[in-house]
């Protein structure tokens, strides 16, 4: 099941960068943490606001954008 709905973009949050659920965690930061070798458990321990589905959403967003598909996150509520 897709978790992409957890990714939002709002000009008032991180200058409109795609973030996780409006929490001010840019998707790019999550992807960098994963790429650095941190495990999902490490990240969830260091960032207790995040949930497992948030990390899946970041990976899904990264995969979609890497494939040159245009992804437009919804504005935060």
Catalogue all structural domains in the chain, each as residue range(s) with its CATH number.
4-66 (1.10.10.10)
Largest CA distance in the chain: 33
* The pairing of beta strand 19-20 with beta strand 7-8: antiparallel
The Cα–Cα gap between 9 and 26 comes to 9
> pTM of this prediction?
0.82
pLDDT in tens, the chain (77 residues): 889 999 999 899 999 899 999 899 999 999 999 999 999 999 999 999 999 999 999 999 999 888 776 666 665 44
In sequence order, the 6+-apart residues with CB closer than 8 A to the CB of 47 are 25
Count the residues in the chain.
77
pLDDT at position 71 is 60
pLDDT at position 74 is 60
The Cα–Cα gap between 17 and 45 comes to 24
């Amino acid at each position: 099941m897709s978790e992409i709905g957890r990714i939002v973009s709002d000009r008032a949050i991180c200058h409109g960068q795609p973030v996780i659920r409006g929490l001010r965690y840019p998707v790019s930061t999550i992807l960098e943490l994963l790429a650095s070798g941190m495990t999902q458990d490490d990240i969830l321990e260091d960032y207790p606001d995040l949930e497992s589905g948030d990390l899946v959403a970041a990976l899904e967003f990264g995969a979609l954008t890497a494939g040159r598909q245009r992804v437009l996150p919804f504005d935060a509520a």
